[in-house]
Amino acid sequence: PASGFVAPAPLGTPALPAWSAAVTPDDSGAYDDFAADEEAGEYLREGASAEMAAPPPSAPMPRAMAKRRASAPGGMPPPMPAAAPAFGRARGAAPPIEVQAAVVFARLRLGAHDDAARRGMLRPESLAETYRESLQACGRRVDFDPAAIVRLAEMQAREIERLSLPASAVAVDRSADRFDYAYAADARVEVPGDGAWHSVPLGVRAMPCDLHYVVVPRESTHVFRLARLQNPTHAPMLAGPVDVYVDGAYVLSSALPSVGPQARFELGLGVEQGIRCARNARFEEARSDERVVAMTELRHTLDIELANHLGRAAPCEVRERIPQAAEGAEVVVEETAVEPPWENWTQARQGRPIAGGRRWLVTVAPHSKRALAATYVVKIYANHELVGGNRREA
């Protein structure tokens, strides 16, 4: 369909009317004749039809006239060479479908009569001319150079683009590549023009928070606070830094991931000093002579204790891991006693799945302790030993 715009012509060439862009891929003859007329300098006048057809073929020449011209000295002059194919294609081929740049005719200026270099030619309006005419139309005095101010603003903008992002900040194009959303602030905000980063409030939203505690005693006895939240809005939450306050007191700064509308996410809140964890491991090695083939049993016992010094109950998740036999290895791993029972844990939600993961989900009453225990046995042939040592727990 006709867009009403054509591609900008080079300076010094006449601008074509807007309707000249309405050429469909089926109008091959229209494209050829249009190109030939353009090269010959035949400019179209407004009001002509956009769907130009090829000119009808000329009537055949009478035989008598043809004989007289053939017998004339020198014969007929050679025919005029055909115009070059338009847009670099052969005559008769289907024209390519191209996206043409829009020409804003209101931004074109005709060269003055006393300007020998630009007289009678259309040229794009400069940015300085646009600002000057806009200010004059508003009744402002223009006793300065608008172009100089524009150049200064562009230079300052380029300097700001070179600024590094604040800590934990994520560029919007990286954080929101899956979303297309416009945020509306609840109130008017003002951003100082000092070339520095500023935080501005867009709105206040309340969301439920489920606080629980996670500890991995095999790696560290620190108990970490973890908040489970849900985005309460139908807008995405972009990744970036977040400051955490509890009862009006600052706790820590963390990083917020990209969160979709109404999606759930977890936010780490640092170490909870009010909950302590202790882990002890015991190892026993025994030989079984009751079987035909002598086996060595490597018994490992884990004792874990949680102490809650808070004034409220603490839901805790204790993560552990037991060894797994390699494929084809002559090793057997058995879980003999676990109190309270634990469950499998694959760590798939974190994007790093593991084998042999286990976890306890327990709630520790305020100002009380909770004991956890697990025992597993590694069985190997009596004349074998494990790579790295038979003891698997420190």
SS (H, E, C) 7-70: CCCCCCCCCCCHHHHCCCCCCHHHHHHHHHHHHHCCCCCCCCCCCCCCCCCCCCCCHHHHHHHH
Read off the tokens for 153.
């603003």
Interatomic CA distance for residues 230 and 210, integer angstroms: 10
Tell me whether residue 211 is in a domain.
Answer: no
Tell me whether residue 104 is in a domain.
Answer: yes
Domain shared by 25 and 142, yes or no: no
Domain shared by 303 and 347, yes or no: yes
Q: In terms of Cα–Cα distance, which of 281, 226, 312, 256 is closest to 393?
A: 281
Interatomic CA distance for residues 69 and 77, integer angstroms: 10
Domain shared by 120 and 1, yes or no: yes
Interatomic CA distance for residues 302 and 163, integer angstroms: 52
The pLDDT assigned to 62 comes to 47
Domain shared by 296 and 346, yes or no: yes
Tell me whether residue 349 is in a domain.
Answer: yes
What's at 365, amino acid-wise? A
The pLDDT assigned to 16 comes to 33
Tell me whether residue 392 is in a domain.
Answer: no
The boundaries of the domain holding residue 292 are 275-381
User: Of 113, 136, 161, which marks where a domain is finished?
Assistant: 161
Domain shared by 130 and 43, yes or no: no
Domain shared by 135 and 106, yes or no: no
Domain shared by 130 and 76, yes or no: no
The pLDDT assigned to 148 comes to 86
Q: Domain tally for the chain?
A: 3
Domain shared by 142 and 115, yes or no: no
Output phi, psi for 207, to 5 deg. -145, 150
Domain shared by 146 and 74, yes or no: no
pTM of the model as a whole: 0.56
Domain shared by 119 and 6, yes or no: yes
SS3 105: helix
Domain shared by 121 and 4, yes or no: yes
Interacting residues of 315 by C-beta distance below 8 A, sequence separation 6+: 212, 213, 361, 362, 363
The pLDDT assigned to 74 comes to 46
Radius of gyration of the chain (CA): 41
User: Of 161, 187, 211, which marks where a domain is finished?
Assistant: 161
Q: How many CA atoms lie within 13 A of 56 on its CB side?
A: 3
Domain shared by 30 and 134, yes or no: no
The pLDDT assigned to 112 comes to 83
- Show the beta-strand stretches assigned E in 224-331: 224-230, 240-246, 249-256, 264-271, 275-288, 295-308, 314-321
Read off the tokens for 251.
């706790």
Phi-psi category of residue 270: left, alpha or beta, with phi > 0 → left and psi -120 to 50 → alpha? left
Tell me whether residue 17 is in a domain.
Answer: yes
User: Of 134, 161, 188, which marks where a domain is finished?
Assistant: 161
Tell me whether residue 212 is in a domain.
Answer: no
Tell me whether residue 262 is in a domain.
Answer: no
The pLDDT assigned to 350 comes to 76
Read off the tokens for 210.
């489920």
Tell me whether residue 394 is in a domain.
Answer: no
Sequential pLDDT tens for the chain (394 residues): 333 333 333 333 333 333 333 333 344 443 344 344 444 333 333 333 334 444 444 444 444 444 444 444 444 444 444 444 443 444 444 555 554 556 677 778 888 888 888 888 888 887 778 888 888 888 888 888 888 888 888 888 888 888 888 888 888 888 876 667 888 899 999 998 888 888 889 999 998 889 999 999 999 999 999 999 999 988 888 899 998 888 888 988 888 888 888 999 988 888 999 999 999 999 888 877 666 567 788 889 999 999 999 999 999 999 999 888 888 788 888 899 999 999 999 888 777 888 899 999 999 999 999 999 999 998 887 777 677 666 767 6
Q: In terms of Cα–Cα distance, which of 265, 335, 260 is closest to 302?
A: 335
